[in-house]
Chains A and B, each alone.
Chain A
Amino acid sequence: MSIFKKTSYLIFSIFLLSCSQTLDFEQINDYEVAPVFSVALVSFALEAEALDTFIGISSANEIEELTEFRVFENSFIRDNLTQLGFNFELVNQFNRDFNLQITLLDDDDNTIHEFQELNIVANNIDFKQEEIITIQQNPNIINVTQVLLSVRLGNTSLPIDNLDSGFLELKSAVTVHLETSI
């Protein structure tokens, strides 16, 4: 046998004799990731002057604010969303009770979800409320495009006036649970 043949056989034999333990590439299909993102949502800090404009002088007992909320237009979020956790923190330095109603709407102003009303008693500076929405039970939630906030005085017979000091403050966040596989 020639040197050339011997060498060729040696090299290729080494290759052919090489081994690998059993690998299962199919298991990658079972891989799932479930990231959780916490994101600041809406906030406000209303002093007496602002509340007075709408609650006291105008004799209206409710003020509202509407904002678009188009996070669910992202197809990745729509397709992989499993749960939303909403956190609300309020500080009420007034000696009046307030009620805050937050409603999630679609593009046609239809109500998709109404949160449990936030009732903040006078001088409560540590109000916290959490609400969890699972997509399985509320599949329409991904159609939300607007958020409507309504602030009401607990007792309309005691309107705010300019001399009242302090503020009503809201902080909020949403915790977005996603689940996706490869």
Chain B
Amino acid sequence: MKQITLLFICFLNFVCISQNRPALYDFAALPQTLLLNPGADVNYNMHIGLPLLSGLSADIGATNFVLSDIFAADNVNINDKITNFIQNTDARDHIKINTQIEVLSGGFRVDRKNYISFGFYQELDAIGYFPKDVLDLARKGNQPFLNRSFSASQLLYKVDLIGVIHAGISRKVNEKLIVGGRVKLYSSAVNLESRNNTGTITTNLGENNIFTHRFQNLNVNFRTAGIVENNEFIREPSTYLKNTFLAGNLGLGVDVGFSYKVNPQLQFSGSLIDFGFINYNKNIDNTVTQGDFIFDGIDLKFNGENINYWDELDEVFKEQLDTEKNEEGYVSLRPAKLFTAVKYSFGKRRSKVCYNNNQNNYYTDAFGAQLFSVFRPLAPQIAFTGFYEKAFSNNLRAKLTYTVDDYSYTNIGLGVSAQIWKLNFYGILDNITALSDLSSANSVSLQFGFNLIFN
């Protein structure tokens, strides 16, 4: 049973496809919106997320690349397809994966003003940029590229598998303003990253020999935490899961947010999520190469001294271009996210529950715009979303979104939230126009979950 549970959690963590966070933002007062804005308006007295099923989300995207580019069964030689793909990419293109599973989630109203929420979720977040220079060098070698400087700075990736325990409060300051904050304790099971690399590798026609190879200002690091223990790879999946429960490398973060109603119909909101860090000091295994080295072959002396040229070269290479492994700890920032939104409500005004002062009246229709930004290693990724939200009844709401981001200019999303008795179900599907051919989609995103909500 234990193994089945682990398998199920791993399956959910790595296979489920879902989540465009901007679509969930401020949608239908769902409990999960509090994870995107702790200052969101909450109009119920308590919520309990169904364990492991309250929030399942993932977001898979790639710029300048779709699966069918490479794997379409079109009788085109795959070598040509990959060559075209690499030619069309640049060092800013990337692939990203983000999945989250809410393991536990809950919240309750303390009084008219304060709502406390808490929970635990696991997150896999990975981004890797296409190191075009490295790919060109590996595919074609240096021979076709004399005088071209291959940049090591294009080596840029980050993978995190973490568990997050969090608790937050949403406080209604007055009828117009709600502020909120959340404290997060991160426990990292895995971190792999390479960033802030510098240096170039160049082959020129030489003076002392036919070619001169220059390794200039190289500083390349490959950091890992959580995958090697006592010089051996950790192979037990349960260890990784255990490390997401406070047994891994620990970190701290905060979320802050607000909602401000200019008038009953116009609302501004914003939040900063995952502003924090993780301090890696356990199970570290880093590799660092740094230095300068110029090589133009072995200069033979013919002086009868039986010089061991190869050993000399090896010694100079290791001295000038030092590669060392170390277990030095390091600090890595979490990818902070920034949300801002404006929402205008209109239509019929309804009350969710009569004679309950905790329940806000709401309008049946709303439209607005949201700006989402996540701070990534190379540059922030920005998504702009326009939306229309409709309440068909107290128990059924929908949200239609149009998003422009790095991955698509035609991203239309649909979210639905329904409630029967105390059971709430929500599902959000992004990029629905790509459903006719998922293999040609730059991004795929879906979120769904089940909550018990008590008014």
Point out residues on A near B: beta carbons under 8 Å.
2-4, 6-8, 10-11, 14-15, 17-25, 27-28, 30-33, 35-44, 46, 50, 54, 63-70, 87, 89, 149, 151, 171-173, 175-176, 178
Chain A: which residue is nearest B421 at the CB level?
A4
- Please state if B142 and A37 are interface contacts (CB–CB under 8 Å): yes
Among A4, A70, A149, which residue has the most Cβ atoms of chain B within 10 A? A4
State in angstroms the CA–CA spacing of A17 and B212 once bound together. 58
Question: What size tier do the contact residues of chain B reach?
Answer: 35 or more
The answer to whether A21 and B68 touch (CB under 8 A), given A35-B138, A50-B303, A67-B300, is yes
Residues of B within 8 A of A18 (CB): 435-436, 438
- Please state if A39 and B429 are interface contacts (CB–CB under 8 Å): no
Residues of A within 8 A of B78 (CB): 27-28, 30-31
- Please state if B297 and A40 are interface contacts (CB–CB under 8 Å): yes
- Please state if B302 and A46 are interface contacts (CB–CB under 8 Å): yes
Residues of B within 8 A of A171 (CB): 206, 208-210, 297
- Counting from the closest, the 7 A-B pairs by CB-CB distance are A35-B141, A40-B297, A68-B310, A7-B418, A11-B427, A18-B435, A4-B420
- Please state if A40 and B71 are interface contacts (CB–CB under 8 Å): no
Min CB distance A61 to B, Å, is: 14
- Please state if B68 and A41 are interface contacts (CB–CB under 8 Å): no
Residues of A within 8 A of B92 (CB): none
The answer to whether A22 and B416 touch (CB under 8 A), given A30-B78, A68-B309, A173-B210, is no
Residues of A within 8 A of B301 (CB): 44, 65
The answer to whether A30 and B79 touch (CB under 8 A), given A4-B418, A171-B210, A178-B141, is yes
Can you list 6 pairs linking A and B with CB atoms under 8 Å apart? A15-B429, A36-B143, A38-B142, A44-B300, A44-B301, A68-B310
Min CB distance A82 to B, Å, is: 12
Residues of B within 8 A of A175 (CB): 143
Point out residues on B near A: beta carbons under 8 Å.
67-68, 70-73, 77-79, 82, 137-144, 146, 203, 206, 208-213, 295-304, 306, 308-311, 393, 395-396, 414, 416, 418-420, 423, 425, 427, 429, 432, 435-440, 446, 448
Residues of B within 8 A of A19 (CB): 435-438
Task: Tell me the total A-B contact number using a CB cutoff of 8 A.
Answer: 164
Min CB distance A3 to B, Å, is: 5
| Interface of chain B, main secondary structure | mixed
The answer to whether A23 and B308 touch (CB under 8 A), given A7-B418, A37-B142, is no
Residues of B within 8 A of A28 (CB): 70-71, 78
State in angstroms the CA–CA spacing of A36 and B143 once bound together. 6
Q: Which of B210, B213, B309 contacts A87 (CB 8 A)?
A: B210
The answer to whether A3 and B395 touch (CB under 8 A), given A23-B439, A40-B212, A67-B309, is yes
Min CB distance B73 to A, Å, is: 4
Min CB distance A53 to B, Å, is: 8
Residues of B within 8 A of A32 (CB): 79
State in angstroms the CA–CA spacing of A66 and B306 once bound together. 8
State in angstroms the CA–CA spacing of A67 and B310 once bound together. 7
